[in-house]
Amino acid sequence: MGAKSVEDYMSSLEDWRGEVVANLREIILSESPEVKESIKWAQPVYESNGPFSYIKALKDSVNFGFWRGADLKDPKGILLGSGEKMRHVKLTKLEDIDQKVFSDFVRQAIKLNEELGDPTKGK
C-alpha cells in the first residue's frame, strides 16, 4: 500500500536514507513552512503553486529533485538529469547534504513557481 504520510515514509527507511530524508525535509520546511507536504507518486512531494520538489529514496541513494531543476542556478554543477525540466541531486550518504546550496535550490524553485505557476500545467 505504501506510506500515507512523510513520517511513515521516513520511518520505513531503517538505514541512513531515513536520516537523509529527514534532513532534506527539514531544509524544505525551514525555507518555506507554508508549503504543502504530501505523499504523491509513492514519495514525499512539496508544493507551493504546484509541485516544486520531491524526495525519492532508492535502494542505494536518495534523490532530491526539482520540477523546474533545469531553470535553477547551479554554480556547483550538482544537479543531474537531461530532461526538459526536472533535475535532481543524488545523495549516497548524509554528508552529501549541502544545506546552503539545497536551501538556495528550494528558494529558487518556490520563486519560479510563484512567477510561472504550476509546472504540471504547461510552462
Q: What is the pTM of this model?
A: 0.94
Neighbours of 5 (CB within 10 A): 12
- What is the CATH class of 6-116? alpha beta
Percent helix / strand / coil, the chain, rounded to 5: 35, 25, 40
The model's pLDDT over 6-34, given as tens digits with 9 standing for 90+, comes to 999 999 998 999 999 999 999 999 998 88
What integer pLDDT is reported at residue 42 of this predicted model?
93
CA dihedral 44, 30, 68, 94 (to 10 degrees): -60
Residues 119 and 92: their CA atoms lie apart, in Å, by: 28
* Nearest in space to 6 (alpha carbons), one of 21, 17, 20, 19: 21
Helix H segments across 33-98? none
What integer pLDDT is reported at residue 3 of this predicted model?
67
